[in-house]
Amino acid sequence: MKMLINVPETVVADALRGLAAAHPELTVDVENRVIVRRDAPVAGQVGLVSGGGSGHEPLHGGFVGPGMLSAACPGEVFTSPVPDQMLRAAAAVDSGAGVLFIVKNYTGDVLNFDMAAEMAEDEGIQVAKVLVNDDVAVTDSLYTAGRRGTGATLFVEKIAGAAAAEGMPLERVEAIARQVNEGSRSFGIALSACSTPAKGSPTFDLPPGELELGIGIHGEPGRERRAMMTSGEIAEAAVEAVVEDLQPRNPVLVLVNGMGATPLLELYGFNAEVHRVLAQRGVPVARVLVGNYVTSLDMAGASLTLCQVDDELLRLYDAPVKTPGLRWGV
Amino acid sequence: MKMLINVPETVVADALRGLAAAHPELTVDVENRVIVRRDAPVAGQVGLVSGGGSGHEPLHGGFVGPGMLSAACPGEVFTSPVPDQMLRAAAAVDSGAGVLFIVKNYTGDVLNFDMAAEMAEDEGIQVAKVLVNDDVAVTDSLYTAGRRGTGATLFVEKIAGAAAAEGMPLERVEAIARQVNEGSRSFGIALSACSTPAKGSPTFDLPPGELELGIGIHGEPGRERRAMMTSGEIAEAAVEAVVEDLQPRNPVLVLVNGMGATPLLELYGFNAEVHRVLAQRGVPVARVLVGNYVTSLDMAGASLTLCQVDDELLRLYDAPVKTPGLRWGV
């Protein structure tokens, strides 16, 4: 698999140098692998820190900025960042109002954020943690005990980020982040495997004419393989999986997310089918995002995330945000 | 090649339905294939209309909105829209201040926009046209007489859109669009071919271990094939091709554009190398955009566009824009 890289060993550092060059409003510590909004810490505001393996861009580094994350810690590709990164990020963004760690449910991430939280508390930083575990496809996977964290991470980071920007205290920001996660479900499908720079070839074998339902964001196995389906059939399977589990009573935010290599033309077509099925099921839609937000390198495919919102969560979702990957209102 | 579609025949209509579902601030005429900002025509403002074959999303439909295009006409995949679409768009956005057609230099687009301009003039709409021809790679191609229009289209639409939003008269908006095009150059590289829905397989054969320099946005041939190069070597080739031709005297806007299937992680790494080479050549950088903006379906690869700007063009570039694909300041 050909890649636009120098050598696999420098892929993450190269990307961080490129992020720094494109976004002077961020402080990018390439050596220590921490991305921080330049004006951090912001007096009186809770700091939001997330992170995880690289290869899911714009998640997480592309979501650092006013109204969303205060800092992000990128690991190697598909590999958890280490506690030192998280501690460094927490120290950089803590204004005294405390720090919220937003952790996708993967074993390595959970362990390392736990350790970083202990280290930060030892240094006098108040830390709360929220686990994101929205993927309904499988309960345990190669990387996870329990459900995986995928697309809902965007909604948790956006909405909790708005809560922090309004000056809400740590326990309130944490409660809102937890509410967003609990109101969110995701389901992904893959048309092709992704290739990591280190391996240089697809991480699994998906034959011509087949797709995988319930895929994770690292190419880990999903629920089942099937003969290729139409966009409409895939939308029916994804909406059913998500809605049956979520049983939404409120309007939902919809994220139709590309895994990396699927053209936007196809994602919009898929969005049309998702909306058709949601309308059939009587699920009201409050807001829609279509694009590559929580990716899996060059995987072809898409995921659907629904997040049910009350008036407060919708107001916070609509609040201004200014990051490389998500921006409105400023 | 597996695709997230229903059938090839409905790909464009499906995508338009999905665009409408995601963006209630746009009026999407699925049957007649015209995307118009909902508040058009805007009194006293020149209307901006562009369009071209589908498969390059977010270009052009994703660039409709305040501060950028007034309307866009999507053709079939890699196929020019027809004059009726352009006439309909012009009529929808003309406030009496006239309409500017922004036309990428492909034979079909040029002929059809010419015809539409005549039809619109017959209906009493004042029309000006600007041709975008920024690609330095080849002079003629399968689709073009003269240089192709590629990444600079984004800058022309953004900056002329800001000029129109300020209420500048048609001849001034046209002159600014022309200035942006004349100050812009692009160069693209492909690591893989793209597959159109109709064909269902790659549009050309690019063997393992080779890349193509100077690729167009339809998979049409470029300058030459070479053994695979590093990101740094590709950046050197792209910057050299663009800078030698442009000979910039002013700071430049930089667009590091993904062709569709190249991960954002790789695009940021490439951006680092582009900046390294620009710094070596002493070219000052004013602003940077990294992402998938002018794509070629699922092609892997990237293009570099530089646009030299004076103070006025930079001010217009920085002005607020609110579209699905590009948004800041609002």
Return the DSSP state at A105: S
In terms of domains, do B33 and B83 share one? yes
Residue among B1, B2, B3, B4 with most chain A CBs within 10 A, to mutate: B4
Contact B269 A77 (CB under 8 A): no
- SS3 labels along chain B: CCCCCCCHHHHHHHHHHHHHHHCCCEEEECCCCEEEECCCCCCCCCEEEEEEEECCCCCCHHHECCCCECEEEEEEECCCCCHHHHHHHHHHHCCCCCEEEEEECCHHHHHHHHHHHHHHHHCCCCEEEEEECCECCCCCECCECCCCCCCHHHHHHHHHHHHHHCCCCHHHHHHHHHHHHHCEEEEEEECCCCECCCCCCECCCCCCCEEEECCCCCCCCCCEEEECCCHHHHHHHHHHHHHHHHCCCCCEEEEEEECECCCHHHHHHHHHHHHHHHHHCCCCEEEEEEECCCCCCCECEEEEEEEECCHHHHHHHHCCEECCCCEECC
Angle at which helix B170-182 crosses helix B152-165, to 10 degrees, equals 160
**Backbone torsion region of residue B264, taken as left when φ is above 0, otherwise alpha when ψ lies between -120 and 50, otherwise beta:** alpha
Contact A328 B329 (CB under 8 A): no
| CA A5 – CA A14 distance, rounded (Å) | 8
| pLDDT band, residue B54 (cuts 50/70/90) | very high
| CA B104 – CA B220 distance, rounded (Å) | 15
Residue (of A168, A157, A101) closest to A129 by Cα position: A101
In terms of domains, do B54 and B125 share one? yes
ipTM of this complex prediction, to 2 decimal places: 0.97
Q: Which positions 178-217 of B are in contact with A (Cβ < 8 Å)? A: 191-192, 208-209, 211
What pLDDT is attached to residue B266? 98
- Provide the shortest C-alpha distance from residue A22 to chain B (in Å): 5
Residue A320 has a CB neighbour count (10 Å cut-off) of: 13
Q: For residue B124, what are the domain limits?
A: 11-183
Q: Tell me which chain B residues have a C-beta less than 8 angstroms from the C-beta of A300.
A: 2, 4, 261, 298
In terms of domains, do B140 and B188 share one? no
Residue of A nearest to B263 (CA): A297
- Interface residue B177 vs chain A (CB under 8 A): no
| CA B184 – CA A124 distance, rounded (Å) | 53
Contact B275 A230 (CB under 8 A): no
Dihedral angle of Cα A245, A248, A249, A255, to the nearest 10 degrees = 170
Structural domain count, chain A: 2
Last residue in a domain, options B183, B211, B236: B183
Last residue in a domain, options A164, A183, A202: A183
What pLDDT is attached to residue B225? 94
- Interface residue A284 vs chain B (CB under 8 A): no
- Domain assignment present for residue A101? The answer is yes
In terms of domains, do B30 and B165 share one? yes
Phi, psi of B186, deg, nearest 5? -135, 160
- Domain assignment present for residue B279? The answer is yes
Residue B247 has a CB neighbour count (10 Å cut-off) of: 8
Residues B1-34: tens digit of each pLDDT: 899 999 999 999 999 999 999 999 999 999 999 9
What is chain A's pLDDT, residue by residue, as a tens digit (330 residues)? Answer: 899 999 999 999 999 999 999 999 999 999 999 999 999 999 999 999 999 999 999 999 999 999 999 999 999 999 999 999 999 999 999 999 999 999 999 999 999 999 999 999 999 999 999 999 999 998 877 777 899 999 999 999 999 999 999 999 999 999 999 999 999 999 999 999 999 999 999 888 899 899 999 998 887 778 899 999 999 999 999 999 999 999 999 999 999 999 999 999 999 999 999 999 999 999 999 999 999 999 999 999 999 999 999 999 999 999 999 999 999 998
In terms of domains, do A140 and A234 share one? no
What pLDDT is attached to residue B218? 86
User: CA distances (Å), A241 to each of A133, A178, A186, A283, B95, in order?
Assistant: 15, 21, 8, 14, 48
In terms of domains, do A173 and A191 share one? no
| CA B284 – CA B267 distance, rounded (Å) | 20
- Domain assignment present for residue A238? The answer is yes
Contact A3 B191 (CB under 8 A): yes
User: CA distances (Å), A115 to each of A10, A34, A85, A121, in order?
Assistant: 26, 17, 11, 10
Residues B249-299: tens digit of each pLDDT: 999 999 999 999 999 999 999 999 999 999 999 999 999 999 999 999 999
- Domain assignment present for residue B325? The answer is no
* Residue whose structure tokens are 């909406």: A239
In terms of domains, do B56 and B159 share one? yes
Structure tokens at A291: 């694009």
In terms of domains, do A49 and A175 share one? yes
Determine the Cα angle at B240 with ends B238 and B245, to 5°.
105
| CA A175 – CA A198 distance, rounded (Å) | 39
Chains A, B: CB contacts under 8 A, how many?
205
- Domain assignment present for residue A2? The answer is no
Amino acid symbol at B146: G
Contact A298 B54 (CB under 8 A): no
- Residue A218 belongs to a domain with what CATH number? 3.30.1180.20
Active site residue B275: no
- Interface residue B273 vs chain A (CB under 8 A): yes
- Interface residue B269 vs chain A (CB under 8 A): yes
State which H helix or E strand residue A100 sits in: strand A99-104
Residue among A1, A2, A3, A4 with most chain B CBs within 10 A, to mutate: A4
Q: Tell me which chain A residues have a C-beta less than 8 angstroms from the C-beta of B10.
A: 269
What pLDDT is attached to residue A219? 75
Residue A277 has a CB neighbour count (10 Å cut-off) of: 18
Q: Which positions 48-87 of B are in contact with A (Cβ < 8 Å)? A: 54-55, 57-58, 62, 77
In terms of domains, do A113 and A208 share one? no
Last residue in a domain, options B128, B157, B183: B183
Residue among A201, A205, A229, A265 with most chain B CBs within 10 A, to mutate: A265
| CA B78 – CA A292 distance, rounded (Å) | 22
- Interface residue A305 vs chain B (CB under 8 A): no
| CA B278 – CA B308 distance, rounded (Å) | 13
pLDDT at B219 over 80: no
What pLDDT is attached to residue A36? 98
What pLDDT is attached to residue A139? 80
In terms of domains, do B128 and B239 share one? no
* β-pair type (B47-54, B26-29): unpaired
- Residue B57 belongs to a domain with what CATH number? 3.40.50.10440
Residue (of A78, A156, A85) closest to A115 by Cα position: A85
Contact B264 A57 (CB under 8 A): yes
Residue of B nearest to A330 (CA): B329
Residues A294-324: tens digit of each pLDDT: 999 999 999 999 999 999 999 999 999 999 9
Active site residue A60: no
- Interface residue B230 vs chain A (CB under 8 A): yes
- Provide the shortest C-alpha distance from residue A279 to chain B (in Å): 11
- Domain assignment present for residue A133? The answer is yes
| CA A46 – CA A67 distance, rounded (Å) | 11
Distance of CA A148 to the CA centre of its chain: 11
- Domain assignment present for residue B48? The answer is yes
- Interface residue B219 vs chain A (CB under 8 A): no
In terms of domains, do A141 and A209 share one? no
- Provide the shortest C-alpha distance from residue B257 to chain A (in Å): 12
What pLDDT is attached to residue B138? 81
Residues A216-272: tens digit of each pLDDT: 888 777 889 999 999 999 999 999 999 999 999 999 999 999 999 999 999 999 999
Residue (of A88, A1, A9, A106) closest to A49 by Cα position: A88
Distance of CA B34 to the CA centre of its chain: 17
In terms of domains, do A151 and A195 share one? no
Torsion over CA: B290, B267, A235, B15 (sign): positive
Identify which of B54, B234, B290 has the shortest CB distance to residue A265. B54
Amino acid symbol at B208: P
Kindly give, in sequence order, each residue whose CB lies less than 8 Å from that of residue A19, ignoring residues fewer than 6 positions away. A26, A28, A35, A61, A62, A324, B268, B271
- Domain assignment present for residue A177? The answer is yes
